[in-house]
């Protein structure tokens, strides 16, 4: 996702440090200080415009959530949603998710969401995929022992790659969906992203997996 530059985005982020962190390494091991109360922490790597993470925070007030996004404009759009909701269990981070072990301490995160990540389809781009082994190693380091990784995409090639990558890394699959929206039980609790709504409305299958280390 590449968004056009919005002059208002950076000033809006700078004016709301209570909701957006731009220096995440300073909170490594201390993220609970950013929330109203200490609760299990879940993060979304690549939150885009923030629909998913905002809705998750609304739906599950018993958990704390962080949405990470490297694009300033996307973070600004997500921030606008949070300024309306004022959710005490939600924080946003505008930074590159590649530095997760610099941002979070060992066992600090209860679960991780990867939603419609860039597929980086060329072979030479493999190391950029968020389900590549180096990223999986980082997730394992920051997550608690029974933490869950959830991954959703409309890209079958990336999904098949991810299944193989997680399996080779020794992860255990809790469930795999080849057409998430065809599972009536799963849809009840499913929180959609902007991309998910767009693709599923066109009849494209949404692939999802849930796994742990």
Among candidate residues 107, 118, 154, 183, the one labeled active-site is 118
Q: Active site includes 118?
A: yes
SS (H, E, C) the chain: CCCCCCCCHHHHHHCCCCCEECCHHHHCCCHHHHCCCCCCEEEEECCCCCHHHHHHHHHCCCCEEEEEECCHHHHHHHHHHHHHHCCCCEEEEECCHHHHHHHCCCCCEEEEEEECCCCCCCHHHHHHCCCCHHHHHHHHHHEEEEEEEEEEECCHHHHHHHHHHHHHCCCEEEEEECCHHHCHHHHHHCCCCHHHHHHHHCCCCCEEEEEEC
- Catalytic amino acids? 118
């Amino acid at each position: 996702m590449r968004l056009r530059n919005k002059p208002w985005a950076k000033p809006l982020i700078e004016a709301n440090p209570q909701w957006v962190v731009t220096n995440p390494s300073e909170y490594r091991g201390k993220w609970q200080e950013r929330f109203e109360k200490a609760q299990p922490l879940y993060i979304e790597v690549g939150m885009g415009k923030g629909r998913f993470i905002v809705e998750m925070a609304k739906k599950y007030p018993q958990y704390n959530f962080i949405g990470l996004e490297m694009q300033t404009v996307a973070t600004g759009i997500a921030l606008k949603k949070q300024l309306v909701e004022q959710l005490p269990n939600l924080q946003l981070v505008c930074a590159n998710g590649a530095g997760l072990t610099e941002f979070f301490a060992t066992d600090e995160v209860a679960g991780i969401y990867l939603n419609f990540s860039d597929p980086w389809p060329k072979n030479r781009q493999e190391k950029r995929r968020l389900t590549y082994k180096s990223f999986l190693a980082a997730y394992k380091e920051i997550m608690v022992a029974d933490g869950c990784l959830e991954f959703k995409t409309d890209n079958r090639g990336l999904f098949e790659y991810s299944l193989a990558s997680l399996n080779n890394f020794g992860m255990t699959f809790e469930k795999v969906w080849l057409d998430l929206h065809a599972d009536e039980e799963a849809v009840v609790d499913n929180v959609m992203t902007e991309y998910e709504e767009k693709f599923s409305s066109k009849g494209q299958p949404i692939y999802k997996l849930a796994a742990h280390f």
